[in-house]
Structure 1
C-alpha cells in the first residue's frame, strides 16, 4: 500500500477532556506514525502517516471513542516524509 500523511483537525469540546492521551493510546492499535497536539484556537491537530486504510481506521477509532466531544473533523493531505515520522506521540 502507498504511504500517506494527513493532517486531521478536530473541533468541538476537544481540549481538556483527555483527547490527546486517548488518541495516543488508540494509535498503538494501528500502524501509524505522527502526533497529536492542542492548537491555540481550541482545535486538536492529528498528523498521521501510514497506509490509507490504516489512517482511516485510526480516525474512525478516534471518532468512536471521542465522538461525544467532536463537532467537526477536517482532513487534508500532507507531503510524506517531510520531516520523517517514526512513532506516534503527544506534542506540547
Structure 2
C-alpha cells in the first residue's frame, strides 16, 4: 500500500543540487512526489510510495548530495492524491 509523507529539510540544502539529487534518489526507489525550495531556505519533499522505500528516502534525506549539510529532517504522514511521477518544482 502506498502512503505519502511531507518532509521539511533544513541546513545548507539550497544551491547544492538537493532537489535534483532527491529526484534521482526518489526515482531509483520508485517513489513519486516532488521537491521544492521554500522561502526560508529549507526544502520541502512530498514523497509517496511503499513504506520501505519511503524509509530509505528519509534516511537518504539526512545525507543528501555531497555539498549539502543537513541539520534536521521533519516528516509527517499525509493523505493526498498520489502523484504519477517525482518532479523538481521551482
Name the Cα RMSD after superposition: 1.6
TM-score by length of 2: 0.88
Gaps of 5+ in 2: none
Report which stretch shifted further, 31-40 or 59-68. 59-68
Number of equivalent positions: 89
Where do 1:1-92 residues align within 5 Å?
2-66=1-65, 68-81=68-81, 84-92=82-90
What displacement does 1:59 show? 1.9
Q: CA deviation at 1:63?
A: 2.6
Structure 1: state its 5+ residue gaps.
Answer: none
Query: Do the aligned residues in 1 keep the contact of 2:32 with 2:84 (CA within 8 Å)?
Result: yes
Matched residues in 1 for 2:84 and 2:49: separation? 10
1:66: how far off? 3.5
Rounded Cα–Cα distance in structure 2 between residues aligned with 1:10 and 1:44: 5
Alpha-carbon distance, 1:88 to partner: 0.4
Give TM-score, length-normalised by structure 1. Answer: 0.87
